[in-house]
Structure formats: C-alpha cells, structure tokens
Chains A and B, each alone.
Chain A
Amino acid sequence: EAGVVQSPRYKIIEKKQPVAFWCNPISGHNTLYWYLQNLGQGPELLIRYENEEAVDDSQLPKDRFSAERLKGVDSTLKIQPAELGDSAVYLCASSNAAWGYNEQFFGPGTRLTVL
C-alpha cells in the first residue's frame, strides 16, 4: 500500500514569489493534515481537513497561506507571497478515524528554502 505522497520534495524560491505543495493521502483516509516543521522543532499543525471541509485552520496564516482539498482526496497548500521566515519543511499527514485510534501517517515532506 502506498504511503502519503508529497511533491515537490525540495523547492527553492526567492522571497515574494508564490509556491505550492501537493499531497496525496493514503487511500481511504478521510482526514488530511498539513504541518509546518522548523529546524530542530516538532511539527505544528497548520490545517486539518475532514473530507473536503477545513475543520481546523486556526494556525494557518491566512494573509499569505491558503489550502484546498478538492473532492476530498488530494490537497494543495499555497503560499503567496513567500517570506524568508517561511523556510521550513511542510509535512502532510493522513488518517482515518474509523480505523480505530486515528493514527496519523506522514509523507516525506517538502523542504522549502526562501532566499
């Protein structure tokens, strides 16, 4: 069974440019998460989707960040415009609450460098 897929794995952009990250969750997982992980720290939740609905986006900086999950499967996270402080790893995770204890499975992440 394929795990959570993310692309690209690495992205280098100049500040003020836009950038987008893509995530394909594990088949059958209705819940999708985007996390931000700064160097030397634990992941911090940005947004959680239940199917197509964003049910917890309280930590998403809405002035420059946006996300969507069309058809309740794949998801895209966008930053526009990017700032130097956005350099980090962006992790996508998925889970299925119906499968017991809602364990989250993580993708490989996208490492963003803003110059």
Chain B
Amino acid sequence: ELKVEQNPLFLSMQEGKNYTIYCNYSTTSDRLYWYRQDPGKSLESLFVLLSNGAVKQEGRLMASLDTKARLSTLHITAAVHDLSATYFCAVPYYNNNDMRFGAGTRLTVKP
C-alpha cells in the first residue's frame, strides 16, 4: 500500500528565514503534486512534478522531485506571513488516476 509521509507536520518560522518541507513516499511513482490549503478553504494546486529531477519555482516556493529516492522537497525562501498555510504533497497511484495525500505540514510564519 502506498504511504506518503511529510515532515515536519508543524513548522513555525520567522519571516525572512529559509526552510524545507520533505515528502517521502513508499512505492514507485513518476509524478508528485503539491497543494496549499488555507484555513477553512479548499486545496489550491501549487506544483505538478512530472519526472525525476523536475524542479519548479513560483515566487518564494521551489519544489523538486527525486523519483529514485522517492522524495520531494518544498523549499521556502525568505518566508513571509502570506505563506502561512497547510501544505500537502500527493502521490498518484492506480494508473495515475487516484492520489494519496500526506498528512500535511502546517506552516506558520511569524513577523
């Protein structure tokens, strides 16, 4: 059974600092998704990583995928308060039609 593990589950950062969120998964997959969820809101797609070595950047967030290590990272550069949210990684299975989500990383950026 596919397991997706994120760490840390809770992250409190100061504004301006850098940090990395990790997503490990247990079975072979050639793609991975990152989503953001604000409190009481739905999930917003951030990144779709489609191959080994894929790297995507949007603003202060950069995501990468290492399919051989079954690891994805979401790197935060010079955090700002607006980045406070819960971040989920998700790995597809069942012929890429279903997704298994990690438990989420709840990020709080303090001034």
Residues on A lying within 8 angstroms of B by beta carbon are: 31, 33, 40-45, 48, 50, 55-56, 91, 93, 97, 101-109
Contact = CB atoms under 8 A, between A and B. Distances in A.
B88 interface: yes
Interface of B: 4, 31, 33, 35, 41-45, 48, 50, 88, 90, 92, 94, 96-104, 106
Contacts of A106: 35, 42-44
B42 A97 contact: no
B106 to A, nearest CB: 8
A43 B97 contact: no
Nearest to A44: B101
B48 A101 contact: yes
Given A97-B96, A104-B99, A106-B35, 10 more contacts: A42-B104, A55-B97, A56-B94, A56-B97, A91-B43, A93-B43, A102-B96, A103-B45, A108-B41, A109-B42
B98 A45 contact: yes
B31 A101 contact: yes
Given A42-B101, A109-B42, A101 B50 contact: yes
A96 B104 CA distance: 25
B99 A107 contact: no
